[in-house]
């Protein structure tokens, strides 16, 4: 069966002093209809760039070098800019991380919501557009939506702003939502509300979601499948339960061990060092210089290969589950 979205061997590069650096390298992902795929990684791992690449929003001088982004079997990279505009915001929509910078501060919420309908449903009458806007605000749980239409973004709290962002994303009636750290800027109680809202909307509309986050807790509660990124590559992917119960890549293992628990641990097992800058990752396995299990073989790039069922890992020396217990 054809996947809703299938990314094949996507390569995105940025020029650096030492030539083109691959910010995304051989990234392959699949999202099925109604599925939530979690994409996890630290700053600079390439997770946000993956979303931008899908919508072809990568800023110059960055560019997509090769690969395919198959949307219902059709390669989005073959579309003209005009055709792509009909996909962007309509079939695939994005919720950005920081609602304060993603919303225009000098336009009312009504203007920003109606803009989506003007773009994608120009045939609707003014009255119909107004109805849809009011309806969507109700759906995302903004009280007194009709009265708040004339408000500006700064008159909303962070959580309410994120609801406006979600409303904007939903107005085009997309089939796939790219949620890039949608709750990172929010307090934990508000985060719980927004996550519930996303889950409700998703099941009501049979939406697929690419859920990007660095928060492993948020990912593990919301995603059926998860992909872990490091250095612009997928290093591990599979069922979320498999990944969290028996992580195989030392990076995934390190991320999980780094989280302070609700139980007191003696000492956190941090990952040493930090994520290198773009173009300064070691050749071969990108993680080798921070890895406790690295050997000479790691100077050659390992393949992403299935070890157990669907559970894939890009590592010469994957952790066996007894070790990670």
**Contacting positions for other proteins (CB under 8 A):** 42-43, 158, 187-192, 195, 214-218, 220-221, 240-241, 244-245, 254-262, 264-265, 267-272, 274-275, 325
* Nearer of residues 31 and 195 to other proteins, judged by Cβ: 195
Query: What residues contact 13, with CB distance under 8 A and at least 6 apart?
Result: 20, 21, 22, 23, 62, 63, 65
Cβ 260 to other proteins shortest distance, Å: 4
Collapse the DSSP code of 74 into the 3-class scheme (helix H, G, I; strand E, B; otherwise coil) and give the result.
strand
* Nearer of residues 74 and 265 to other proteins, judged by Cβ: 265
* Nearer of residues 148 and 214 to other proteins, judged by Cβ: 214
Cβ 165 to other proteins shortest distance, Å: 18
Collapse the DSSP code of 55 into the 3-class scheme (helix H, G, I; strand E, B; otherwise coil) and give the result.
coil
User: Which pairing describes strands 311-313 and 233-239: parallel, antiparallel, or unpaired?
Assistant: antiparallel
Cβ 154 to other proteins shortest distance, Å: 15
* Nearer of residues 25 and 222 to other proteins, judged by Cβ: 222
Cβ 261 to other proteins shortest distance, Å: 6
Residue 302, number of CB atoms within 10 A of its CB:
19
For residues 202 and 209, the answer to whether their CB atoms sit within 8 Å is yes
Q: How many CA atoms lie within 13 A of 266 on its CB side?
A: 0
* Nearer of residues 265 and 320 to other proteins, judged by Cβ: 265
Dist. CA 104–CA 106, nearest whole Å: 6
Q: Structure tokens of 20?
A: 């083109």
What φ, ψ does residue 133 adopt, rounded to 5°? -65, -45
Residue position matching structure tokens 């995105």: 12
Residue 274: strand pairing partners:
none
* Nearer of residues 32 and 215 to other proteins, judged by Cβ: 215
């Amino acid at each position: 069966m054809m996947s809703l979205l299938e990314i094949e061997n996507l390569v995105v590069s940025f020029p650096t002093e030492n030539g083109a650096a691959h910010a995304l390298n051989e990234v392959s992902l699949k999202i099925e209809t109604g599925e939530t795929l979690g994409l996890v990684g630290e700053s600079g791992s390439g997770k946000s760039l993956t979303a931008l690449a899908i919508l072809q929003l990568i800023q110059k001088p960055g560019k997509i070098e090769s690969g395919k982004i198959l949307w219902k079997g059709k390669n989005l990279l073959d579309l003209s800019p005009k055709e792509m505009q009909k996909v962007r915001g309509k079939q695939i929509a994005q919720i950005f991380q920081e609602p304060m910078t993603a919303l225009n501060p000098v336009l009312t919420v009504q203007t920003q919501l109606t803009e989506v309908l003007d773009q994608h449903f120009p045939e609707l009458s003014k009255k119909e557009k107004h109805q849809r806007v009011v309806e969507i605000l109700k759906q995302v749980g903004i009280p007194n939506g009709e009265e708040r239409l004339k408000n500006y973004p700064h008159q909303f709290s962070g959580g309410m702003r994120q609801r406006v962002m979600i409303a904007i994303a939903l107005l085009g009636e997309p089939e796939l939502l790219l949620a890039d750290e949608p709750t990172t800027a929010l307090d934990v109680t508000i985060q719980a509300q927004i996550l519930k809202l996303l889950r409700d909307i998703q099941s009501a509309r049979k939406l697929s979601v690419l859920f990007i986050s660095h928060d492993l807790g948020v990912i593990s509660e919301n995603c059926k499948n998860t992909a872990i990124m490091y250095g612009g590559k997928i290093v591990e992917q599979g069922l979320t339960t498999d990944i969290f119960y028996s992580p195989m890549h030392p990076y995934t293992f390190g991320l999980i061990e780094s989280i302070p628990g609700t139980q007191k641990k003696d000492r956190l097992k941090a990952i040493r060092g930090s994520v290198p800058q773009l173009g300064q990752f070691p050749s071969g396995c990108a993680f080798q210089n921070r890895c406790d299990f690295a050997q000479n073989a790691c100077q050659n790039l390992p393949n992403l290969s299935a070890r157990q069922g669907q559970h894939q890992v890009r590592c010469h020396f994957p952790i066996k589950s007894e070790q990670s217990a």
